Every structure is written in C-alpha cells, then in structure tokens.
A and B are shown apart, each in its own frame.
Chain A
Amino acid sequence: MTLFLVRRLAGFAVTLLVAAAVIFFLLDLLPGNAARFILGMNASPEAVARLHAQLGLDAPAHERFFGWIGGMLSGDFGMSYTQNAPVAQLIAERLAVTLPLTVLAMVLSMAIGLPLGILAARRRGKPTDTGIMLLAQAGIAVPNFWFGMLLTLVFAVGLRWLPTGGFTPWNEDPAAAARGLILPGLALALPQASILARVMRTALIDVQGQDFIRTARAKGMTMGEAVWRHGVRNALLPVLTILGLQFAFLIAGTIIVENVFYLPGLGRLIFTAISERDLILVRGAVIVLIIGVTLTMLLVDLAYGLVDPRLSQGAGR
C-alpha cells in the first residue's frame, strides 16, 4: 500500500511539474519580451523597461521558472499588473464561487444519475429503462451552457423562482449566494448525470450476471437485496473512474457556464485576464485549474486502491 501511495504521489508531482514547465514555456518564453507583448506595440520604451523590471524578466529563464515554482509552494503566485493585487488573492476570491458550484454540480449529478442508472438496470428492457436511456441520450447531447439558458427562461423568467444571474457574496447573504448557484449547478449536472446513469446501468447489468450474485440469491436473498448489498458496491468501481474524469470536465464546464449566469468565478477572471493580456494572472489561474484536475485524478486513483485492494497490492498499472 505504501509503495502504491508513493508511486501515485510521485506521478502527481511529476505531472504538475511538467505541466508547469509547459505553461512557463508558452506564457513566459514564447512571447519573447513579455513586457512588450503585454503593453502592445505602441508602448513607450520606459514603460516597457519598468514592467520588464517589475516582472523580474532580467533573471535567466531557469531562475524565473524555479522562482515561480518556489513562490507557488509558499502561496505566492505573483502580482497581477492589471488589477494591482496578488494573483493568489484574486484566484482565492473567485474560487469561492467556482469551487462550491463545481461541488454542487457533482453532488447533483450523482443524486440524479446514480438512482436513475440503478432503476434502469433493475427494469432492464422495460419502458422505464427505455425512457431513462432516451433521456440520457438527449442529456449527453445538450450543451451545458445552453441548458443553463433554457433553465433561466423557465425558472427565472417564467416562474420567477430563482435569479437570472449575478451573485451575492457569501458574507453578505449566504442564502442568496446559494440560490444563485442552483440553476448553474443544475445546468452543469445534467450532462454528467446522463453519463453517470448510463455507466451505472451498464456496470450493474454486468455485475448482475456474476457468480456472487447467484450465490447471494442461493442463500435466500431476493434479487433486489442481492443487487443492493453486493451489486451496487461492485458496480461503483467503473462509476468511480468516470466520476474522476467527469470532475475534471466539470471544472472546465464551470468556466463556460459562469458566463451564462454572470457569476464572478474563475472563468470570468481568466477571460478578463486574457483580454487585458495579463499573462501572470492567466498563468496562475491555469495552473490552479490543472492542479484541480490532477488532484482529482490522484484522489480517484487512491480511492480506487481503497475500494479494490487488488490494485494497491499488485504492481499498480
């Protein structure tokens, strides 16, 4: 188990380091003179020189790279020169919207998708199954941000139950803040729930044919009990893999859906940074996103090891 843990953690660290190197190469080395790139062609030489010094561009590339990594390890992501604030602080403020939204979407998608998948598998071939699978087929095809627009039309404009967009900060009115996340959360959850329902159904149907279900039935359990006590737990393995992948895409989807609801999350920070050519801010936000994605994959790997001890005892992959 220790070896498994060490290997996974090492893999995580290497992935992050390589990703950081790629980002550094793209955003720091490729533009040539970053200060001129940022200020544009018409900037005065003095302004360029000032920014050049401010960005610490006089130091050689490897020093800047390791300086950046070292800074991040101690929580210093650099200064945003368009917003005149530490990048870490800007990102932390935005994560207060993006992170709860992502987690809410994840919870909603599981709460919707898994029971529907189980139901479809139990009613395999019946109208219920067909209906759920048709819904899932449609759900997968719906762009989440467009679904968000439709939800706004129905629940915010038509029924007036929820706000059309915008966000009240948590410390002002937590209830209003949470209400502002419901529609975007649902918009993000729908495609994920469809995928989860399909995977759960397939996994459960596979498991139902296994010997241990037959043994449980022979011991006197009803099919429902056997599936619930033994089947679902085994079927969760493939579901877990998909969940890990899906969380990564949820983070990406959040960036897009924030736009529909005018939420002040990480996505809007990034788009502003791009249009203002704030490469330091883009760099910080992108590495935070990649940390999120990689960390999720690591957690799924570790959870996999816990759920299925065969994996952590063997040589891994």
Chain B
Amino acid sequence: MTHWRLHPSLWLGLGAGLFFALLALVSLVWTPFPIEEINIGRRFQGPGPVHWLGTDHLGRDMTSLIMAGTFTSFLVSALAVAIGAGIGVPLGLLAASWGGVPEWLVLRFSDFLFAFPAIIVAILITALFGPGAINAVLAIGIFNIPVFARVARGGALSFKTLDFIAAARLAGMGNGEIAFRHLLPNIMSLVIVQGTIQLSLGILAEAGLSYVGLGTQPPATSLGLMLRDAQGVFLIHPWLSVLPGLSIVAIVIALNLAGDGLRDAIDPRLRAESGTYGAA
C-alpha cells in the first residue's frame, strides 16, 4: 500500500472533496441563517461579520445558500451516478459474460443513449412534467448509463480470459454467477474511479440544467440555481455569480484530482484520457 502515499494530488482532491461534502451535510442540521429567510432590507450586502459571504438579491445569507446549494448539487449528481452505475454496470457485465446477441444489444443501446445529451432528456421530461430536481437526476442518470456500461464491459473483458474465471467455469458456475461473484469485485475499482469522474461531471451538468430552469426549483437551492438567480444582476453585483461559480470549480477540481489520483493509485497502467465524456 506504500504507493498510495506517492499521490499528493489524490490526498488534496479527496481532502477538498470531503470538505465540501461535509459542508453540504452540515447544512442539513445547521446553516448560519435559514436559507428561505428573505429580508429585502439587508440585500446585496458584501461579506461582513454577520453575513460572512454577504447576502443575495433577496437578502438571503450567501454562506447558508452555498452550503445548502452544495448539498443539492452533490445529491443530484450522486443519485445520477447511482442510476448510471446501477443500470450500466450490470449491462456491461451482461455484455462481457454472455457475448453474442446480448453484447450487440447492449453496445447498440449505449450508442443510442449517447445521442441523448442530458439536456435533451431534461427538455423532454420538463416539457411533460414541468421542471424539478428529479428531471436533472433522471437526465444525468440516463446519460451516465452508457458510460458505466462501457467501463464495466471493458474491465470485465480483460479479466474474462484469466485462469480463475476458467477455474470457476470448470467448477460449474454459470455466466451470471461468474459475472457477479468474480468479475464484479474485480472491476469495482474501475467503477469507483469512473463514479468519481461522473460525480464531478454531474455537478457541472446539474449547474447547467438548473441555470436554464430545467433542474432544481426554488425554494430549494443549488449552485446552478444560485447562478440563475444572479443572472439578472450580475453586471452590477458580480459577487453573487462569482461565489457559486468558484464553489463549483473547486468541487469539480477536487473530484477530478481524486478520480485521477485513485486511478493512478489503483492501477498505474490506466493513466489514459478516459473520463473525458461531458454530460450537459
């Protein structure tokens, strides 16, 4: 395990990522001010001793909004990763262990899903059911499915030819049992790395969707929704846009560093350009 210590960027990324995650979790039980507390009299305040990061156009406390917004952004993105991995990984394993027609179908299905960027799915869902955070979860989640399917299939194929799989087959195991008892544990590290990367892409995608009004809706808040709120006044009060934007950048950099670092630490051979799929 000594090589884990050789990755300062991994620790930096994990540390910063955990810091934001913690900030988000704390917002569930405590924020400096209630996020829905509107006070027009004290709006557009700069950072100060009472409102550490100032107040927005409704006089809401920016520190509290950032904390709660970070939570929503993480939550939406994490649920989308869960959908993507929950459906994509079994599909990828299915394709790798059965081959033939199932594999062909899975590959065509993931090609097909790639034609639907998250924003198109979000547009379709919103046109039908109206806007909401669930739309963003579904849209980003659907987009994540083919990404995880490909990662799982690729990983599983590289293990499929190894002796222990042949041994399992000799012992009488079927495709399904081999896939879930032997292949899945072996590709777990790949899935976790991809999950970290998709988590960061999901946070960017959530911001984009909420910014155009297809995602999180008030009175809840997210980092993207804060940018939408600030849009009308950002030429006069740039601070209201700069702050949530910087938070997004910091979180995404942290998660990307953690993802890259994890990949290098788990398997140095994988130092490649994977994970460059956008999501919005």
Of the candidates B117, B128, B241, the one whose C-beta lies within 8 Å of that of A248 is: B117
> Which secondary structure dominates chain A's binding surface?
helix
| Interface positions of A from 248 to 282, Cβ below 8 Å from B | 248-249, 251-253, 255-256, 259-260, 267, 270-271, 273-274, 277, 279, 282
| Interface positions of B from 200 to 223, Cβ below 8 Å from A | 200, 204, 207-208, 211-213
Q: Contact at A253–B280, with CB atoms within 8 Å?
A: yes
Q: Contact at B276–A164, with CB atoms within 8 Å?
A: no
Q: Contact at A143–B207, with CB atoms within 8 Å?
A: yes
Q: Contact at B212–A255, with CB atoms within 8 Å?
A: yes
> Which secondary structure dominates chain B's binding surface?
helix
CA distance A277 to B127 in the complex (A): 7
Of the candidates A149, A253, A274, A294, the one whose C-beta lies within 8 Å of that of B127 is: A274
Q: Contact at B249–A256, with CB atoms within 8 Å?
A: no
Q: Contact at B204–A19, with CB atoms within 8 Å?
A: no
CB distance from A94 to the nearest CB of B (A): 14
| Interface positions of A from 119 to 165, Cβ below 8 Å from B | 137-138, 140-146, 149-150, 152-153, 157, 164
CB distance from B116 to the nearest CB of A (A): 7
Q: Does A224 make an interface contact (CB < 8 A)?
A: no
CB distance from A200 to the nearest CB of B (A): 9
Do A143 and B123 form a contact, CB below 8 Å, given A164-B235, A259-B211?
A: no
Q: Does A110 make an interface contact (CB < 8 A)?
A: no
CA distance A238 to B213 in the complex (A): 35
Of the candidates B124, B224, B235, the one whose C-beta lies within 8 Å of that of A153 is: B235
Per-residue CB contact flags for chain B residues 128-145 toward chain A (1 = under 8 Å, else 0) read 100000000000000000
Q: Does B277 make an interface contact (CB < 8 A)?
A: yes
Interface residues on A, range: 35 or more
Q: Contact at B212–A271, with CB atoms within 8 Å?
A: yes
CA distance A317 to B150 in the complex (A): 14
Q: Contact at A290–B115, with CB atoms within 8 Å?
A: yes
| Interface positions of A from 6 to 53, Cβ below 8 Å from B | 11, 15, 18-19, 23, 26-27, 30-31
Q: Interface centre among B117, B234, B248, B253, by most A CB within 10 Å?
A: B117
Q: Contact at B204–A245, with CB atoms within 8 Å?
A: no
Q: Contact at A143–B248, with CB atoms within 8 Å?
A: yes
Q: Contact at B117–A286, with CB atoms within 8 Å?
A: no
B127 proximity list for chain A (CB < 8 A): 27, 273-274, 277, 279, 282
CA distance A142 to B250 in the complex (A): 9
Residue of chain B at shortest CB distance from A285: B123
Q: Contact at B112–A245, with CB atoms within 8 Å?
A: no
Q: Contact at B256–A140, with CB atoms within 8 Å?
A: yes
Q: Contact at A18–B211, with CB atoms within 8 Å?
A: no
Q: Which residues of B contact A (CB under 8 A)?
A: 107, 111-112, 114-120, 123-124, 126-128, 200, 204, 207-208, 211-213, 224, 227, 231, 234-235, 238, 241-242, 245, 248-250, 252-253, 256-257, 272-273, 276-280
Which 3 pairs of residues, A with B, have the shortest CB-CB distance? A141-B252, A249-B278, A146-B245
Besides the known contacts A152-B235, A256-B208, 14 further A-B residue pairs in the complex with CB atoms under 8 A apart: A19-B115, A137-B253, A140-B252, A142-B249, A143-B211, A146-B245, A149-B238, A150-B242, A152-B234, A153-B238, A191-B278, A195-B278, A245-B277, A293-B117
